[in-house]
A and B are shown apart, each in its own frame.
Chain A
Amino acid sequence: MTQIELRGVQKWFGAVQVIKDLNLSIEDNEFIVLLGQSGCGKTTTLRAVAGLETIDEGDILIDGKPVQHLKAADRDIAMVFQSFSLYPHMSVYENIAFPLRATRMKKTDIDKAVRDVAQVLRISDLLDRRPSALSGGDMQRVAIGRALVRRPKAMLMDEPIGALDAKLREEMRAEIKRLHVKQGSTTIYVTHDQIEAMSLADRIVIMHEGVLQQVGTPEDVYGHPQNLFVAQFVGSPVMNVAPAAVSDSAGKASVTVEGAGEGFAFPSELLSKLNGSAGKPLSLGIRPEGVIVAHEAAEGFLPAEAHIIEPLGSYDIVDLKFGSQMLRARTRSGFVAKAGDRVFARLDPTQTHFFDTASGQSLGVKL
């Protein structure tokens, strides 16, 4: 049972504030992913929880007790580093046993714990090797083993698979997920890779320039981004964002992308839901799968020219030009034969988001 809570945490590096008033509550057994670009403060936050970094203001509570003044060693937390940090002068066995040697545990108990963890991680046959003789994936397994062996209150992982190649990363991602399900411990995981975040997290915490942007389940941050940063950071291919105007055309809403002559037809409730924001500069956000493409003209479809086609195997990404803006659509592969073809497209209202261009905040319109 471990809950972690951050209350009003602030951290400066000299004149630069790297964590700005961070509040976050993590439940027992929860897998939390801190997601953001490099330099957004996610790693600093993790190191602050670990006790490797002091904070300037606020509280960090583990199971309700403030720990910000405790040394790292006294917080009973384990951490996996991106660099793995396996001690080169020790065997794999000794590396895993190292945290236990700090305690007064009996030798036979240490041996049992090390072998148990090695079995879970499927590295039993590697125990006598030196870290330098291991593959990247095995190194990371050992690093995770070293963190697990102590049965810590919480696991912290700082881009643990960021240094691996793509295929291995996918494999280890599944492995980490499997371990979490099996062992179950409160975990904070830092990454800049949104696919990793989506696939692993119970809840994702998105940070940008030291400020928490949104906390939510993967579905939440993908389906209901609270601001333009989250909208464009989560999801691949990236969400289309374009300045747009909403107007009332004979009782029906019409959304016109900047520079386009004609507007997309939207249900009339959009007007009431925008609630007076209609006049302000708005941004429209829509994921490529929300842009529906057809060969024939039909009700609600606007003509567009295909600019670039990116074949990605299972699907294509087609850049369509509306006015001065480019919207990317996701189509069946080969649906649009070649660049320059004229097609017709409409926007799926249920997948369209509206943001206040000035503040970047979502207007919270759900259709």
Chain B
Amino acid sequence: MAAVRTSAEVAGNRVAIVAVLIITLIFLAPIYWIVSTSFKPRNLSTTIPPTVVFTPEVSPFVKLFTKRSQLREQPTPEEYEAAPWWERIVFDGGEKVVRDGKGNVQWSAYPNRFMNSLIIAITSTVFAVSMGTITAYGFSRFKVKGEGDLLFFILSTRMLPPVVVAIPMFLMYRTFGLNDTHIGLIILYTAFNLSFSVWLMKGFIDEIPKEYEEAALVDGYTRMEAFFKIVIPEAATGIAATAVFCFITAWNEYAFALIMTNRRAQTAPPFIPSQVGSGLPDWTVIAAGTFLFLLPVAIFTFLLRNHLLRGMSFGAIRK
């Protein structure tokens, strides 16, 4: 059947499309800014008005991954000729790559901080989502004494702004030797995400009819087996959504990471702006670091997009 639409509907539709486009552009603008800056030559990064058309270069990324110092005297032509292409880029920028006594290139701390971020964010997400799912299942399926109070208590851990607990947390962590450790931040982010994870997962699990598990129980499975074979697959959409939110929260966290870590377990968010302090701020390097930092969340969300979009209850339950 052909859809018959009035001109008013068509016009309304066009207005909606234009509005969506404008909103999309507004949201994409900062991302474009970061991405374009990370490919700009240093002298174009702070022009007013911003430079839109330029020849992209990879110098910010080379600088991001190397330790550099100010060039006091120009390199000799021989030195320049002998240097690999990326070292020449550094020379061109008026800097030189730092080498140790044996002439080995000194790399920047960025890859290490990036790894820290990955380890801490992924581990804490796995903990928060798995613990949250099991807790939510318990609250959803069993009669728990004081269920309302307990759930409120869990939620209340999220009510204080982080800055309020930062100092006591710091002192406690110092006592237990958890400052600047991976495990310390993992515990912190897990605890921080857990309330959110429990509440979100409870909503999803409440939606799964309990007849599914009862059918499995009658069919010869234990409750544990029913949980893993029936509830987990049915809750996949919810688990994916919760995981994305927990991951983003842990990945982007700045305040605690700044206070609790400085070297060994430092994550990327406090590290990236710390480069501002060494010499004159090179915004292209900061932009390059930020751009790479955006990728894992983008990839993670992209991989789970089907789960995030898929309707909740497409199943075979009649109500």
Contact = CB atoms under 8 A, between A and B. Distances in A.
Contacts of A131: 315-316
B218 A102 contact: no
A51 B219 CA distance: 11
Interface in A154-171: 156, 163
Contact of B219 (A86, A88, A134, A150): A150
Contacts of B206: none
Given A85-B212, A85-B214, A78 B219 contact: yes
B220 A73 contact: yes
B46 to A, nearest CB: 53
A103 B218 CA distance: 13
A99 B211 CA distance: 15
Contacts of B217: 51-52, 71-73
Contacts of B222: 71, 73
B215 A85 contact: yes
Interface in A82-136: 82-89, 98-99, 102-103, 131-132, 134, 136
Nearest to B216: A98
A88 B315 contact: yes
Given A87-B230, A102-B225, A82 B220 contact: no
Contact of A132 (B212, B219, B314, B319): B314
A200 interface: no
B234 A98 contact: no
Contacts of B216: 98
Contact of B316 (A71, A72, A88, A99): A88
A88 B220 CA distance: 19
B145 interface: no
A77 interface: yes
A139 interface: yes
Contact of B317 (A84, A134, A156): A84
Contacts of B225: 102
A264 interface: no
A146 B19 CA distance: 51
Q: How large is the interface on A (under 10, 10 to 19, 20 to 34, 35 or more residues)?
A: 20 to 34
Contact of A85 (B221, B236, B317): B317
A304 interface: no
- Interface of A: prevailing SS: loop
A139 B316 CA distance: 8
Contact of A136 (B215, B233, B318): B318
A159 to B, nearest CB: 10
B209 interface: yes
Given A50-B218, A73-B218, A102-B225, A85 B314 contact: no
B201 to A, nearest CB: 17
A86 B211 CA distance: 9
A301 interface: no
A99 B214 CA distance: 12
A60 to B, nearest CB: 14
Contacts of A102: 219-221, 225
Contacts of A87: 212, 215, 230, 233-234, 315-316
Given A77-B218, A85-B215, A102-B220, A163 B233 contact: no
Contacts of B211: 81, 83, 85
Nearest to B233: A89
A79 B218 CA distance: 7
A88 B237 CA distance: 13
Interface in B193-232: 209, 211-212, 214-222, 225, 230
A276 to B, nearest CB: 52
Nearest to A158: B211
A163 B318 contact: yes
Contacts of A73: 217-222
Contact of B218 (A78, A139, A163): A78
A131 to B, nearest CB: 3
A86 B215 CA distance: 9
A82 B318 contact: yes
Contacts of B234: 87-89
A81 B220 contact: no
A94 B215 CA distance: 14
B221 A81 contact: no
Contacts of A71: 217, 222
A274 B103 CA distance: 119
B316 A84 contact: yes
Nearest to A52: B214
A77 B217 CA distance: 10
A134 B217 CA distance: 24
Nearest to A103: B220
Interface in A235-253: none
Contacts of A163: 318
A156 B215 CA distance: 11
A86 B315 contact: yes
Chain A CB count within 10 A is highest, among B219, B230, B236, B318, for B219
Interface of A: 50-52, 71-73, 75-79, 81-89, 98-99, 102-103, 131-132, 134, 136, 139, 146, 150, 156, 163
Given A76-B220, A89-B233, A139-B316, 14 more contacts: A51-B218, A72-B218, A73-B219, A81-B211, A81-B215, A84-B318, A86-B317, A88-B314, A102-B225, A103-B220, A132-B314, A132-B315, A150-B219, A156-B218
11 contacts: A71-B217, A73-B220, A85-B209, A85-B317, A88-B314, A88-B316, A89-B233, A131-B316, A132-B315, A134-B316, A139-B316
7 shortest interchain CB distances as A-B pairs: A88-B315, A131-B316, A99-B219, A102-B220, A86-B316, A163-B318, A85-B211
